[in-house]
Every structure is written in structure tokens, then in C-alpha cells.
Amino acid sequence: MNAGTRSARRTLGVVTVMGVCGVVALAGCTSTPGGAPTAQELGLVPLPASVEVSDAAPFVLDGGTRVVVDAAAGSAVGQEGAVHVGELLAAELRTPTALDLPVETDPEADGGAVVLRLEPGGESWDPDGLLDDPAAEAYTLEAGEGGVVLASTTPAGLYRGTRTLLQLLPPEVEASAPVDDVAWEVPAVEITDAPRYAYRGAMLDVARRFAPVEDVQRFVDHLAAYRLNVLHLHLSDDQGWRLTVDGLPELTEVGGRTQEGWPPGTGGPWFYTPEEYAEIVEYAADRYVTVVPEIDGPGHTLAAQSVLGSLRCDGTPGEPYWGPEVNNPMICSSDENMPAVQEYLDTVLAAVVAQNPGPYVHLGGDEAPSPAEGWYENYTAAANQIVAEHGRTVVGWHQWAQGTTLPEGSLIQYWGVGERNQGLIGTARETADVQEVRAALAAGADLIMSPADRTYLDMKYDDLTPYGLEWAARIDLERAYSWDPETELTSTLDPERKVDVTGRVAGVEAPLWSDRSYPDSLTHLPTSTDEFVDVDVYVDFMTFPRLPALAEVAWTAQADRDYEDFEARIVRLAPRWDAAGIGWNRVHDVRWDD
């Protein structure tokens, strides 16, 4: 348990505006010239649990402003983390404002400061602990003419609060160079906030399309900005191997020479050295984002099989693969060949654990084509045991629950398509997807909700989207936003037919696969690597504006969410994306100019 006492009062279903409009519902209040902005006009995403705005004078950052860290109530780890959050915030603000913003640790200092206060209750919090306690990221934020006070029981909560603080400042705060003639004002507000789910993330597929370190770090920035706390890295697949493994250097020597659509000889090497991977992990940890590494298996393993003949029944390595197909031959995990598979898993997973301090190891498990009897079970049993012996928590796609050795406390990631599964729930025709979720729950696992027709960021928005696929759905902004993880496994025909997930949803994750990162992606396969757009172009376009929508699904209570209100707030974020240089998709189902 990653404990942190909830110090912030949580006012569910109540978001009020106080000032020139009195106290009114958000949707019915518009600001008057010179008056306080409404909470809707603040454009906060995800929507906090409670926002009270007054017409009192704002706090203005100026040459005398300081960042004061009051961490005396915390543990040594908490104190160090709180100071780090203060230094990071000051560094982020110095660039656009050109202010000095010194960081001080004297809680008795006079006003005119942004105060980060670590409160009692989070002494047992572990930055590398399980993500199972939403209260650990609760925070309060009060701003007025005299300054800003941001309080939480953990550094992670303080950091989440600083993301809200940045959204309260003008959009130019996102700029990468000093900006003149901007009043750096924070409106007078009182915010109380905590997430709905403790596990909130996104996945980046660096196996099919390699992302350099700086692009991964940029993706971490995107996640952190919307209070997400998990970066799931898909590090191996048929088309490539990206993580250095001591004892098996050929995995990256060969597997690092291919990407989807990029055969050997077209570039590379495409893998992370231990030093580069450590940069990613550290950068994420600095923003309280946990890296969840995935080594897929027993399917999606042609990159490994092209190196290790011992993973194939005939004992000879396969050819490197760079095509687009799935359901390719899986690892030969027959009883006779399991000693070789065990040796492979021991070596690889030891390297994964050594390079990832977080509590989770994702073992994949999807799209293993019609395995021979016992093969899937042999592989999953060996991998589960190894991860458990290393003291880590198993994560797998929902097919992983086909095995009978799933450790209690594991996380199973549901990626089924709701429109194909929901109507059949609880009937004789219930799909394998749903049955595997039931098996996982019965084994004591909890769920990460990633329904492909809601959360898959590689799905096209509409018929104008140049990249991506649409096998699950076209996912416009409303479709990404308007669903409930708690009812995703409830029949659309009869609400009494459902999978009981009460208390079993660990969180939400939005996967971004990189199968089709080139224009006209449905009409042809690329004939030249020149057709592929840069990684950051693909990531930005497919991520914004849907990632903030999914972040709100994961953070904000269901009763507090409304699409029309969200649309009004997301429009106010667009200037921030422009200031940050994000190449977002101006989707046609949003009234950007209203």
C-alpha cells in the first residue's frame, strides 16, 4: 500500500463560482468585464473535485516572488521530494517569465510567495511503490493577492497541484523562451482535488516505431501536464527490440536494426543503451511518472526469434521482420523446449527489473495465434514466477489470464472493443475477452481499463485523419471522453448482466501504437521510409486533444463530468498547446472558435 492520508476535503459533484455571479452552477455563469473568471473559463483539465473562484485580487508573479518549500512535516524522502518539486516548478516558470524565482525552505518567510507545504500523513509514501491509493495525490491550492499555498501529504500530490497552478497562469507560461508584456496572474481560487483512480497512464509503442530519448521525454511531459502517472513502454515486438539485455547483446544488435516498414540497412540502431534508458526512467520519476516496461510474449516475439534459435522449435533463428502483420508464430514453449525459454526469460526479465525501479513488469500476452496445448500456460507460468521472485507485480493484456498461475494482485489490461463485447455479456455467447476478464478477477487481479474503441490513440479521429487505423472504431473527442470505466463491462441491452468490477478497477490507460505513422495509412503500405512522419509529429497529432479527455476520465469523478463543459474547457487549452509547440489536431467535432 502506497499510503498517504487524504488531507484535502473532497466535494464531489460541486464546482462553484463565487464572485460577481454569486454562487451558481458552472454552465450558467459567464464572467463580466473586470470580474472573476468562471471555473469553466479557467480551462482546468482534468476538472478538479472542487473549484471556488472569487473576485478578489489575483496573485501576480513579479521580481520579488519566491518559491517557498515548507516540508518539515514530511519524512526524509518526502522533504527531498518536496524541494525537488519546488525547484522544478521554479525552473519551469523562469523560462517564460524571466523572473529569478529563488527556491527557499524558510516557512516563516513573508508573503509574496508560492508556498509548497508538505503536510503530515504521507510518511510511508514510497515514490517507487504501488499505485493503489488515490489519496496519495490529493492536494489543495489556495491563491489570493498575498500568494499561493499548495498543500499535500506527498511530493507526488504537490507535483500534481503544480500542474493545476500552471493552468491557472496565462497560456504563455508554456513558451520555451521569455515572453514580454504578460501579466503573470493567478486568479483568486480555492481548489480541493484528488484523483478517481490511482493508476492513470498512457502507452508508447517504441517497438514498431522507435522513439528517441527526447521524444519519450516529451511524451512524459504530455502525460504529466494532465496529471497522469504511468508511462507504459512497449519495448519489444515482432518488428524490433529496444532494451539492452546483459548477456544477450544480439537482441539489440539485430532487433535494433528494424522497425515496422524499415528493413535492415535502412537506419538505426534503434534501441536504448542502459544510460539512455536510465535517462528516461529518471526524467519520468522526476515528474512522479512510473515507467511500466513491457516485454511482450509469447506472441509478438519475432525480433527475439530472429536472434535466438532456441526460441523456435527447429532451433534455427528466424529472419528479421519489419512487416505490419500480427498473429505471427509465437515462441516454442513446448515442454521439451521450456528449459531454453526459461533461460531466455530469466535473463531478459532480470535485465528489465534491474533497469526499472518501479513495481510493475508488463508481460504482454496478446495475439498468440492458436498455441499448441500447454504452450501458453508454460510460458505464462514461467514468466509469472520470475517476476514474482523479483518482488514485482505482474501486468498483462487481458489474454494473460488464460494462464492458471496469475499471481494475486496482478493487473490485467482490458483492451476489448465495447461494441463487440457489451451486448453479449452474461449470455451463452459471451466473448473470450470478457471471460478472460472474469478469470483474472477470480484469480485476484485488478483491471486497467483500455477499451480499444475508447482509449486507443492510434485509432483515427475521423475520415480526415491521415495516420493510424480504425479496426476498433473512429474515436472522436466525445467518444474518447463519454464513457465510464466502471460500466464498460456492463451489457448495453440489460444492465443486470455485467462483470462486477466494484473496487477492482485500478485505473485507465491510453495506448498509442505506432503501426501506421505515415499518411494515407489505410490505403497502402509504405514503399519508402521517406513516407513516415517524425515521431513527435505522429505523437502530437494522435494524442491531442484526446489525451486530456482520457486523463479526465481517469482523474475526475464520473458524476462531475459533462462533455459540453469539457469541450468548453478544452478549447481554452488550445493556446497553451500552440505556445508549447504541440502539433495538435484541430478536430472538426469541437467548436474551437466559439
Question: Sign of torsion, CA 239 245 248 254?
Answer: positive
User: CA-to-CA distance for 103 and 65, rounded, in angstroms?
Assistant: 10
CA 133 to chain centre: 16
Which of 267, 233, 272 is CA-nearest to residue 252?
272
User: CA-to-CA distance for 567 and 549, rounded, in angstroms?
Assistant: 9
User: CA-to-CA distance for 180 and 473, rounded, in angstroms?
Assistant: 44
230-234 and 290-294 as β-strands: parallel, antiparallel, unpaired? parallel
The pair phi, psi for residue 203, each rounded to 5°, is: -110, 140
Give Cα separations from 267 to 239, 261, 262, 264, 529 (angstroms). Answer: 14, 11, 8, 7, 10
DSSP assigned state of 309:
G
Which of 448, 421, 442, 439 is CA-nearest to residue 505?
448
CA 594 to chain centre: 30
User: CA-to-CA distance for 89 and 97, rounded, in angstroms?
Assistant: 12
User: CA-to-CA distance for 42 and 237, rounded, in angstroms?
Assistant: 42
Write the secondary structure of 532-547 as one string of H (helix), E (strand) and C (coil). Answer: CCCHHHHHHHHHCCHH
Give Cα separations from 373 to 332, 335, 365, 407, 439 (angstroms). Answer: 12, 10, 16, 21, 19
**DSSP tally for the chain: helices H, then strands E:** 17, 21
Catalytic residues: 367
Q: Note whether 101 and 173 are within 8 A (CB).
A: no
Question: Sign of torsion, CA 317 318 320 325?
Answer: negative
